[in-house]
Chain A
Amino acid sequence: MGKVKVKKSDVWIDMTPMSDVMTLLLTFFMLTSTFVKNEPVKVNTPGSVSEIKVPENGVLTILVSPEKDKAGKPTGEGQVFMSIDNTDQLGATLDDMAGRFGISLNGNQIKTFRLESTFGIPMKELPGYLSMSSQNRSKVLPTKGIPLDSIDGGMSEFQQWVDAARTANEEIKIALKADAATPYKTVKKVMNELQDMDESHYYMITNLKTSEDE
């Protein structure tokens, strides 16, 4: 009886085409996508049919979110945060603001500020906040916000920030990103403050409406 010869079939699969495809996909993703910004509050923007895109750079984004109490019910007030996409301009803005409020920050604090994507801390608490550990910072930030009340009848802290950003970049574009559920009162306040400082042209960030409602 002859031995049945078990053929040792070669199970080697050539992975080269697979790797080619993967590299292509990876390149595609790297080139077309932008990184998700880490925002302290979750904002669901309302849908619209407008198809204008956000300008590429030099954008000051104002984040407006409805403030919620501990039970999760909106209090009717809102929080305001800001972000500037250019770190150099962000640094210049911070320098300007620190000068205006007479606050001195050390190198580490400035570095932390520049690394953070979104800011929204009252100026008085800023040095203390920037010295915290990053874990504490992400806990504290969502409870704060830039104050909208005018200081001694003058410009509010919010307006000072916008003004400082405008000084750092004269052609800065303002984009308003507000949650769909924000009461108009809050948005009106922000719009009014912008109007007061003659900043009347801005963008409102929305989602593309996918299906026709109703």
Chain B
Amino acid sequence: MAKKESKQKKINVRVDFTPMVDMLMLLITFFMLCTTLSKPQTMELTMPSNDKNTQEEQKNEAKASETVTLYVAANNKLYYGEGIPEYNNPAWLKETTWGEKGIRTVLREHATENGTKPVKRIELAVKALNQKKAKQPLLYPDSVYQKELIKIKGGELEDGKIPTLTIVIKATDNASYKNLVDALDEMQILSIGTYVIDKINDDDMKLLTSRNVAI
């Protein structure tokens, strides 16, 4: 009798967790399907104000050799012209492609009148800064890094100030939004600080149609 009692004390207290696991599985599946893990990326963009008065003031004179106009056209086409637009000269407009071999090389190799290639120089400086940051992350917190980056984008390199490139991006009506973002992306990749999205004017239209560009 006494033996029996002691055996009864060994009651199995194991709880079956299988239903619990089932339920958790369901919940996880629900969360995996109904939510997104990553927040989408964004690009910051500041457009010039439409106010006529401020527009005139903000127009700073960029030297002819320091401007490049990009024409983003329909069907993934991209054209560019270096210097002041020559609306009467269809040969001023040159065709190029998107990506590394096309527009990126064009901008990188663009030389100003004194022979420097600002985009290339700035790109190298940014690379150097990134390397310095990777070596000593503590010396370059985000605030310092951003300040340095803005300085470099403004053309202030270690061996003096160099002129920077100003890019004017003009997109035609049927150019896709993707191409516009691509163009802005190139600015980001090449660390070009000064660029503006401008409207196509009548002269641009004439020039583009003279080259049979799909608008």
Contact = CB atoms under 8 A, between A and B. Distances in A.
Contacts of B35: 29, 33-36
Contact of A188 (B36, B98, B171, B185): B171
Interface in A93-150: none
Contact of B177 (A14, A26, A30, A46): A46
Contacts of A45: 40
Interface in A170-214: 175, 177-185, 187-188, 191-192, 194-196, 198, 200-209, 212-214
Contacts, number: 170
Nearest to B104: A214
- In this complex, the interface size class of chain A, counting residues with CB under 8 Å from chain B, is 35 or more
A192 B50 CA distance: 8
Interface string B33-72: 0111111111111111111000000000000000000001
A11 to B, nearest CB: 12
Nearest to A204: B43
Contacts of B138: none
B177 A200 contact: no
Interface in B161-202: 171-182, 184-185, 188-189, 197, 199
- In this complex, the interface size class of chain B, counting residues with CB under 8 Å from chain A, is 35 or more
B28 A25 contact: yes
B46 A201 contact: yes
Contacts of B28: 22, 25-26, 29
Contacts of B34: 35-36
A52 interface: yes
A46 B184 CA distance: 12
Nearest to A200: B47
B47 A19 contact: no
Contacts of B99: 213-214
Given A33-B36, A53-B39, A183 B46 contact: no
A213 B184 CA distance: 15
B16 to A, nearest CB: 7
Given A48-B188, A201-B44, A204-B181, A33 B31 contact: yes
B18 interface: yes
A201 B45 contact: yes
A207 B40 contact: yes
A49 B189 contact: yes
B193 to A, nearest CB: 15
Contact of B173 (A15, A185, A204): A185
B95 to A, nearest CB: 16
Contacts of A178: 177
A9 interface: no
B41 to A, nearest CB: 5
Interface of B: 14, 16-18, 20-21, 24-25, 27-28, 31-32, 34-51, 72, 97-102, 171-182, 184-185, 188-189, 197, 199
11 contacts: A18-B21, A22-B21, A25-B24, A29-B32, A50-B41, A50-B42, A50-B185, A181-B177, A184-B180, A195-B47, A198-B51
